[in-house]
Amino acid sequence: MTTKIQAALQDIAQQQQINILLACETGSRAWGFPSPDSDYDVRVLYVHHTEWYLSVQEEKDTLDYMLENKELDISGWELRKSLILLRKSNAALLERIQSPIQYLADDDFVADMLLAAKSCYSKIATMHHYHSMAFKLFEELQAAPTYKLKKFFYALRAATLCKWILEQDEIPPIEFKKAYLPLLSQDLIQRIEQLIELKSQKSESYLHAGEPELFNFIKTSIELAGAKKDGLSAGNANPEELNHLLRKYVLKYDY
């Protein structure tokens, strides 16, 4: 599939007249708990040629493609939009630049983004993202005696990242294992890893039940995050640093 993804990305770059700075996997494959039938969620950060930026007309700054019978979902953000989101410590953007699965990448760009992300990192912004996600998903999980294991993992990961934000000073990691290993008890870690193995063998439609200890962890994490989220620190983004990155990568790919 990697070859097909890279070929599709090259076609998109030619059609859109863009240069791809990063194309990476997100979702369950990047998080570390895919199912056999998980689709491919490819996210792209890209830059236009200089002329695109020298316009009084606001142009479309996203792209979306659904390919391979909807198995391959490719979407992307233009560079300036990406930097604006980075300034806001957008959680989805922070995940993309950390993805362990890269299909195409300008390594200098990824390194620059990761460095800038540290000064832009806002605990309050990322907490609102993951707390809202965990809260909504947990409500849905409690509505029936059985639930999709996929949804359970989404809620569990979001709740774990809420705990991470409260207890750690680094940007929340995209890989679930990097978040739960330093934070959770050995009993919970063991059960999570058993469930990851189970999920790797079941389709995304598989229904699961039980897991009271992990449900209790999710509930406790959501409640604690809800009580503390509004008092968390904001980022300290430097607009000129981001302006420099915009100019650097527009000019790098200008011809």
Q: What is the pLDDT of residues 97-148, one digit of tens each?
A: 999 999 999 999 999 999 999 999 999 999 999 999 999 999 999 999 999 9
Closest by CA position to 92, among listed 48, 32, 158, 33: 158
Tens digit of each residue's pLDDT (9 = 90 or more) over 159-203: 999 999 999 999 999 999 999 999 999 999 999 999 999 999 999
Cα 187 from chain centroid?
Answer: 27
C-alpha to C-alpha distance for 117 and 232, rounded to whole angstroms: 17
Give the HSE-up count for residue 194: Cα atoms under 13 Å, Cβ half-sphere: 8
User: How far apart are alpha carbons 152 and 17 in whole angstroms?
Assistant: 40
pLDDT exceeds 80 at position 255? no
Query: What average pLDDT does the segment 62-81 reach?
Result: 96
Mean pLDDT throughout 61-68? 96
pLDDT at 175: 98
Residue type, 241: E
Backbone phi, psi, residue 29, to 5°:
-65, -40
Beta strands in the chain (DSSP E): 18-26, 40-48, 62-67, 72-78, 102-105, 147-148, 207-208
Does position 254 have pLDDT exceeding 90, yes or no? no
Contact 47, 15 (CB under 8 A): no
Q: How far is CA 168 from CA 18, 163, 179, 208, in A?
A: 37, 8, 10, 31
C-alpha closest to that of 122 among 95, 152, 90, 150: 90
Q: Could you read off the pLDDT of 192-248 as tens digits, one per residue?
A: 999 999 999 999 999 999 999 999 999 999 999 999 999 999 999 999 999 999 999
CA separation for the pair 200, 194 (Å, rounded): 10
DSSP string spanning 133-164?
HHHHHHHHHTTSSSEEHHHHHHHHHHHHHHHH
Judged by DSSP in three states, 25 sits in: strand
Q: Model pTM?
A: 0.96
